[in-house]
Structure 1
């Protein structure tokens, strides 16, 4: 717990927290059409897309938990923030198709590609996923507020924390809609980054650590099995096996960034394709900072406390790793400067950042896909907005009620958090329906619906077979563990669901609506995508071979692997540029296309930079 806040900390805390609802309420004063309310009038610029995507994706539990995992396990948690494959998939496969159809929800997209049953099933699954995540966010948010403000003179009960989160988010989401959420998300992103960076800076600056390079040297001096600044754990590791990272976790990233309504909604609301693409790529860079200011700070905290507490009488580190963040704030942050208040404000802002986005996404689905589709197809903009506001209130009340009903004082045994962790049973079917639907003309509506509905059962079945039979075999357990890791389960479920959709489409449920595929007007086909991915993997195979067969260290090839990866994007950019019309007359006739290509090429280079930096990190910290 933090000690009593000083006056300057209280002033900074109150002023910074007042900015969020104030900005949201000011935006809310404007008159709203349905498009304004749910998609901010489709006028969001790239920097707001980036801030909103990052704010939606990160919470206070995320920041504190990441630092705690860095403290207890190490840098391997960074895989949750290295999301470049998912960003590339959204930017260059799905994005243009989504925006061409001018839809409000991804379920509408599925109706265009398949039918209304696929649309309804997606809506049901996403509402379920969002509701459970909302309950978890309220639960963790309230616990975090209790935890943060305990001992500061602002003690609050669990129920008070829930009501505070609900009231503050409702103050701007009910009236302001998407535009208010985007503005507040961007503010929250700045506050979160400021808080995390401050803690990391003062932690790494301690003489026992000696900066980031000092941390690397300190870690390298430990026996290999005790080192924490590495990205890969054995394939039988119960939490983060390297085989699961490059299969199931990769698929989960693709779901979150490409087919998840509450994140993709920011893309649909962007001012242009280029703004959407740049915003998503920028959010990838922002996420890539988390390992360096949150997870690495956790590793540094481990060595810092080990050094200082070991020197005390009866030295030792007997506190929970989740308390590492607050212990750092008490230990390394200068008091009387307002920095403690700023950090508390950043973490409090992070508590709201995911909640408001999920509420808006859920109400958009309920309003557009249920109310407007089935209840009142002729609803006016005023009626649609009114129903959307009512649904926000309903979702908040339901979330608070469920969070109270499922409350347990021990965070590690909360039922709803366990359920939230198991939502990956539903995601493989959704991913298959989108991925196959956008790349293969033959995918049929009935096969897609069956695949989405069957995915949870496939997940349960594979888990049962492995845990009851395969995992009991010592040879299998030595490779993949005694229990099936959820990442491996997601990958196996994805393969089974993929097989189901393709098999049914080729046999009993052939596609009788090829016009659905034609309406998507996707810019890349399956063959082109396979060639691009194959070329990328071939380049990486060369450098992996140098490490395993040539005796080179991963650190020595990291920069060359990054440069070679960027070279692939440079080559693609040059091919696209050469394909643009060169004759003046043709360029005049097709000027809009030329502008689009120029913007596309520029975005391609930024995507290449994100990918090459990520690849360099994957090698350097191997």
Structure 2
């Protein structure tokens, strides 16, 4: 059997992963901080791993959950393993719990903790560096001392921590699950791909195009996303906006707008 939703999700995921690499400040920080002879092989190896590991792990865990979710060893038995639980990202922990038990859950949370702390740490370092050096020292106080820059960097870390915590709490209380976040992420991050690439590689890129294109692309993608959900399902809520087609159209339209505005401006 073929799943149209799976194909659409795969396309959305490709857009999102492209933005993850291109727009993630942590990737840029790491690549700039290392030598080319180390960066290129490392990133090529990471490109293979980031495809192979999630694909292999997701396939094994997903098929295993399908096979055992109606057996007595599964945590939800005799109840159903509902779509809400799947969308909440509980397939892997429930499957591990069923197969390995409590020790497996402990190992899973250790793995999750290490992944999250690594990601947040890289993000904090990148954001603090951008705000302290690229923004504060460049535009606000060009004569700032190292001590003052360090203080701004520390404040940026605190701001970043408060900001991402607030966003996380808002999404949680708003009812957003992992599926909704996965569909929304490309709409948020992808509009900057083309402007950023042209800024680095094309001498005729203008400041207006570099600044306005991502903003217009995001607003267009957001509008298309919500309008498609309203048109197809009659209402706008968590359930309709995490459907595949609204997110797909929102993810693809913003690239056209970003590129079209850049073409007109340049």
TM class by shorter-chain length? 0.7 to 0.9
> Which residue matches 2:61?
297
Measured in 1, the distance between the counterparts of 2:171 and 2:14 equals 31
> Which residue matches 1:261?
25
Q: Is the 8 A contact 1:249 1:487 kept in 2?
A: no
> Which residue matches 2:236?
none
Calculate the TM-score normalised by the size of structure 1: 0.35
- Counterpart selection for 2:224 from 462, 482, 485: 462
> Which residue matches 2:195?
433
Q: How many residues align?
A: 249
> Which residue matches 2:259?
498
> Which residue matches 1:331?
98
> Which residue matches 1:276?
39
Measured in 2, the distance between the counterparts of 1:447 and 1:491 equals 19
- Counterpart selection for 1:393 from 158, 165, 169: 158
Measured in 2, the distance between the counterparts of 1:333 and 1:366 equals 45
Measured in 1, the distance between the counterparts of 2:80 and 2:177 equals 29
The change in CA–CA distance for 1:375 and 1:488 in structure 2 (over 3 A counts) is same
Measured in 2, the distance between the counterparts of 1:483 and 1:347 equals 27
> Which residue matches 1:186?
none
- Displacement of 1:407 after TM fit? 5.5
> Which residue matches 1:450?
212
- Displacement of 1:296 after TM fit? 1.6
- Displacement of 1:403 after TM fit? 4.9
> Which residue matches 2:137?
372
Deviations for 1:95-134, whole angstroms, at most 9, x for unmatched residues? Answer: xxxxxxxxxxxxxxxxxxxxxxxxxxxxxxxxxxxxxxxx
- Displacement of 1:259 after TM fit? 3.1
Q: SS state of the match for residue 499, structure 1? A: helix
Q: SS state of the match for residue 241, structure 1? A: helix
Measured in 2, the distance between the counterparts of 1:328 and 1:417 equals 18
- Displacement of 1:418 after TM fit? 5.9
Alignment of structure 1 residues 606-617 onto 2, 5 Å: none
> Which residue matches 2:48?
285
The change in CA–CA distance for 1:381 and 1:400 in structure 2 (over 3 A counts) is same
- Counterpart selection for 1:354 from 119, 126, 132: 119
Measured in 1, the distance between the counterparts of 2:49 and 2:111 equals 16
Measured in 1, the distance between the counterparts of 2:188 and 2:104 equals 42
Calculate the TM-score normalised by the size of structure 2: 0.75
Q: Is the 8 A contact 1:467 1:483 kept in 2?
A: no
Q: Is the 8 A contact 2:225 2:250 kept in 1?
A: yes
Deviations for 1:584-622, whole angstroms, at most 9, x for unmatched residues? Answer: xxxxxxxxxxxxxxxxxxxxxxxxxxxxxxxxxxxxxxx
The change in CA–CA distance for 1:355 and 1:448 in structure 2 (over 3 A counts) is closer
> Which residue matches 1:571?
none
Q: Is the 8 A contact 2:93 2:108 kept in 1?
A: no
- Displacement of 1:316 after TM fit? 5.8
The change in CA–CA distance for 1:296 and 1:437 in structure 2 (over 3 A counts) is same
Q: Is the 8 A contact 1:245 1:487 kept in 2?
A: no
Q: SS state of the match for residue 379, structure 1? A: coil
Q: Is the 8 A contact 1:437 1:443 kept in 2?
A: yes
- Displacement of 1:367 after TM fit? 0.7
User: Which of the pair has the greater relative contact order for Cα pairs under 8 Å at 6+ separation?
Assistant: 1
- Displacement of 1:386 after TM fit? 3.0
The change in CA–CA distance for 1:345 and 1:406 in structure 2 (over 3 A counts) is closer
Q: Is the 8 A contact 2:224 2:246 kept in 1?
A: no
- Displacement of 1:501 after TM fit? 0.9
The change in CA–CA distance for 1:489 and 1:372 in structure 2 (over 3 A counts) is same
The change in CA–CA distance for 1:424 and 1:329 in structure 2 (over 3 A counts) is closer
Q: SS state of the match for residue 485, structure 1? A: helix
Measured in 2, the distance between the counterparts of 1:330 and 1:342 equals 10
> Which residue matches 1:344?
109
Measured in 2, the distance between the counterparts of 1:376 and 1:492 equals 39
The change in CA–CA distance for 1:330 and 1:280 in structure 2 (over 3 A counts) is same
RMSD of aligned C-alpha atoms? 3.6
